[in-house]
Amino acid sequence: MEQVRITLPDGSVKEYNQGISVGEIALDISPRLRKAAVAGIVDGEMVDLSYQPRDGASVKIVTEDTEEALSVIRHSAAHVMAQAVSRLFGGVKLAIGPAIDDGFYYDFDLEHRFTPEDLEAIEKEMQRIVEQNLPITRAEVSKSAALEKVRSAGQIYKEELISDLEGDHVSFYSQGEFEDLCRGPHLESTGRLKAFKLLSIAGAYWRGDERNKMLQRIYGTAFAKRSDLEVHLARLEEAKKRDHRKLGKDLDLFSLHEEGPGFPFFHPNGVIVWNELVNYWREKHAAAGYVEIKTPIVLNRSLWENSGHWEKYRENMYFTQIDEQDFAVKPMNCPGGILVYQSSLHSYRDLPIRCAELGLVHRHEKSGTLHGLFRVRAFTQDDAHIYMRRDQVQDEIIGVIDLVDSFYRAFGFPYRVELSTKPENAIGSDDIWDLATDALRGALEARGLDYRVNEGDGAFYGPKIDFHLEDCIGRTWQCGTIQLDFVMPERFDLTYVGEDGRKHRPVMIHRTVFGSLERFIGILIEHYAGAFPVWLSPVQAVVIPVTDMHHAYAHSVARELAEAGVRCRVDDRNEKLGYRIRDAQLLKVPYMLVVGDNESSSRSVSVRSREHGDRGSVPVESFVKTITDEIRTRSGVPQKR
């Protein structure tokens, strides 16, 4: 029989009979490996265990204890859920059911409206399907046969998907009586699905288009082990308690209104947090050699055509007409910043020029994707654009990395780094992209940062470094970014006069630290569970007089604190002392200062700390020094749970 040569991850090469499957290769390596295997990676592509690699292929076995396995497990869980729904309810039309970060979902079209009780019934049916241990098999059919198959079954959404697919053949996966259009890969049987949970019901437009029918979406999650699922569910419960939308209302930070969907309204308390972040941002940027600029929100069409946004980003933009000319509300700050650079001549001695901007931008997001402060239509980017010579690129990128690092440490965020490369809709030559990507990679390696490559996720004008910070309950958020751009300087004909007296082309960095102030505030609310460190807290101390007799002294203490720059108030309501203390605790006030006879006579305050409880009586002067030191040093980060 003909042989095939297979290269394993350690570089060794083994020969097998032609037709051997990935699962059989795993068994040959080790029965233990075969037991843990859920899929394979052949020449970089994830495949089923039944897949038969060609001669010369490289093969890696994906085991259930790896991150790579989760997408296979979750995708299979989505199919099991769809099978359960099809068994329990009549006339189900199936849409799509992918694996996503932290779980999976499936979209359904049926007359019955799902309820929370339905989720329990679907889960039970899923468990029965798992116990049946149905083999999951893959079959390829011609596109015409596939269309006939789904039409006869009344699966209109699958028909649309198949019609849009390229190629002459498509694949289906079957388990028992259930069959679904799918590229795979999947587990080899339903019995391999060990730990899953259905989480919620939502509405979702078909293909995310508001003009299409609203479908019913069921979200779930799945893991290789029950213990991992339990940890994840505990994290979800903690996240519910920290939901920034609820805490934003409870702490009177911001609100959302139907009159402005996707446009958040910040209240006085929220503006205090906003301003403190902006003050910190300005201090750090001034120290790092940045100058601040401000550019208009509305600019004409020709600018956006020149930048490439009119072609590449138009569906996300808002438009208007002024004096019968087309204008756009800016979705990004960079073209306006470029006009500032162009407004004067520059010498090589001027570079690098670091221009920072807190720029309000607007982007059209579909209504179904809007989510508190995390997904909005208007937000303030803490942008900066750096113009530099080519010999300055690496040092400038490292400087931005150092700045981002100092910001995230101040808030208690560890982070990981991704290098995102050329996307499909890129502008500019391959040579320019290679040059920019190599420059980012070189800076990361010179800085000694571990990173992973995110292929094809760069901006349309350049590759980027993305910072994914981790909050205190283990969730990750993409915030800061560094984008290296050789394209925009070319499109806008940016120049500087070199040492040789000739014009040269600068290189441009686009970068953010917070990403969006609105979103970063939402992240901070959940990171701190609303209990901001003292320097960010809208109210830093509340003075609570024991009785009416102590009102005057309470107000004198509050005045002394206010004169020292402390945000404080007096709670002299006609309520019991315990009630007022509990109210301050619910509002996450860092310090409660109780004053009675002893405190009035000794010029002291009885300190109750949000973090450390009763700290006893201290002189007013001592407390003022303590709290002002905390504010000045911006101390206080949450402990990881």
Choose the catalytic residue: 186, 330, 510, 519: 510
Give the active site residue among 383, 466, 471, 572: 383
Compute CA distances 206 → 75, 96, 113, 200, whole Å: 19, 9, 16, 18
Distance of alpha carbon 67 from alpha carbon 22, whole angstroms: 19
* Annotated catalytic residue, options 175, 381, 392, 540: 381
Describe the crossing of helices 551-563 and 620-633 by its angle, rounded to 10 degrees: 40
d(CA 238, CA 627) in angstroms, rounded, equals: 29
157 touches 94 (CB < 8 A): yes
Any catalytic annotation for residue 381?
yes
CA dist list (Å): 231 to 177, 201, 226, 237, 604: 34, 22, 9, 10, 46
Annotation marks residue 568 as catalytic: no
Closest CA to 463 of 403, 408, 416, 507: 507
Are 491 and 464 within 8 A, CB to CB? Answer: no
Task: Give the other-Cβ count within 10 Å of 524's Cβ.
Answer: 23
510 is a catalytic site residue = yes
Confirm whether 346 is a catalytic residue: no
- Rg of the chain over all Cα atoms, to the nearest angstrom: 29
What are the distances in angstroms from CA 100 to CA 68, 103, 253, 451, 595? 12, 5, 31, 22, 54
Q: Which of 186, 309, 362, 385 is catalytic?
A: 385
**What's the residue count for the chain?**
641
* Active-site hit among 186, 422, 464, 550: 464
Catalytic annotation on 389?
no
Closest CA to 382 of 406, 359, 408: 359
3-state secondary structure 472-498: CCCCEEEEEEEEEECHHHHHCCCCEEC
Q: Which segments of 275-412 are extended strands (E)?
A: 291-292, 298-300, 318-322, 325-329, 353-362, 378-388
Q: Which of these is catalytic: 363, 377, 475, 550?
A: 363
Q: Given 158, 180, 334, 479, which residue is catalytic?
A: 334
User: What is residue 377's DSSP assignment?
Assistant: S
Place of tokens 């990935």: 22
Looking at this protein, which amino acid is placed at residue 53? P
79 is a catalytic site residue: no
Phi then psi for residue 342, to 5 deg, are -70, -15
Residues 6+ apart with CB under 8 A from 263: 376, 377, 378
Burial of 521 from C-beta contacts in 10 A (0-12 / 13-18 / 19+)? buried
209 flagged as catalytic: no
Q: Name the burial class of residue 235, with classes exposed (0-12), middle (13-18) and buried (19+) by CB atoms within 10 angstroms of its CB.
A: middle
Residues designated as active site: 334, 363, 381, 383, 385, 464, 510
